[in-house]
């Protein structure tokens, strides 16, 4: 999974100001194991059963929070990310959560616009709860440009 995240991140080389993300730290195996144990992670595999993408999510308050969604660079743009996202949303609904949340880039085509098509909405500043505000703050402290970051929520009926 760290290898997939590393490869997926290369997509950011296409955006000069965010190209540094391609060389950023990846989530470690221990953290992946802990997330898998919580039961809301999905892996996409190729025809030889080799992992090529994954979604990691976990319970956070009333929501299922998506921590990671990555597709290997060689496999991007073929509908795999959308399929993983749909699985995650389905799992959030079936587990009885009120919503699915995440943080992402507002203006990167395969981030907020992609999630918007799946039903997520960007939360305005007055709608961002303490948890998501803390998360955005932590991201900023790690060098993320906060004006380009946003929190999104898909509310279940
Ligand atoms: C985000 C990501 C998981 C999407 O997976 P994917 O398999 O490439 O996406 P899909 O083929 O299912 O495409 C879904 C939508 O993403 C967008 N998209 C994907 N790749 C894109 C690209 N290179 N340029 C522009 N839009 C793109 C399109 O809106 C597409 O919708 P469309 O089919 O209606 O045009 C993948 O691009 C990735 O790993 N990116 C790098 C890591 C990342 O940004 N993760 C999300 C962090 S919040």
CATH code of the domain containing 102: 3.40.630.30
Q: In the predicted model, what is the mean pLDDT of the chain?
A: 96
Which pLDDT belongs to residue 157? 84
141 has a pLDDT exceeding 90 = yes
Domains held by the chain: number: 1
DSSP assignments along the chain, one per residue: -HHHHHHHHGGGGGSGGGGGGGGSPPPPHHHHHHHHHTT-EEEEE-TTS-EEEEEEEEEETTEEEEEEEEE-GGGTTSSHHHHHHHHHHHHHHHTT-SEEEEEEESS-TTSHHHHHHTT-EEPPGGG--HHHHHHHHHHHHTT--GGGEEEEEEE--
At 39-55, the pLDDT tens digits run 899 999 999 999 999 99
From 20, 77, 113, give the residue whose CB has the most ligand 1 atoms within 8 Å, as the site to mutate: 77
At 95-128, the pLDDT tens digits run 999 999 999 999 999 999 999 999 999 999 999 9
Which pLDDT belongs to residue 1? 94
Instruction: Please tell me the distance between residue 4's alpha carbon and the centre of ligand 1 in angstroms.
Output: 14
66 lines ligand 1 (CB under 6 A): no
């Amino acid at each position: 999974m760290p290898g997939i995240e590393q490869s997926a991140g290369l997509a950011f080389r296409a955006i000069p100001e965010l190209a540094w993300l391609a060389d950023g730290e990846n989530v470690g195996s221990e953290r992946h194991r802990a997330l898998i144990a919580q039961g809301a992670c999905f892996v996409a595999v190729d025809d030889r059963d080799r992992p090529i993408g994954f979604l990691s999510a976990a319970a956070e308050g009333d929501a299922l929070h998506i921590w990671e969604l990555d597709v290997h660079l060689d496999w991007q743009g073929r509908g795999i990310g959308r399929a993983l996202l749909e699985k995650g949303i389905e799992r959030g609904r079936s587990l009885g959560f009120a919503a699915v949340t995440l943080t992402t880039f507002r203006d990167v085509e395969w981030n907020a616009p992609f999630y918007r098509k799946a039903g997520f909405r960007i939360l305005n500043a007055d709608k961002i709860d303490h948890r998501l505000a803390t998360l955005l703050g932590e991201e900023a402290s790690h060098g993320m440009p906060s004006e380009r970051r946003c929190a999104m929520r898909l509310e279940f009926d």
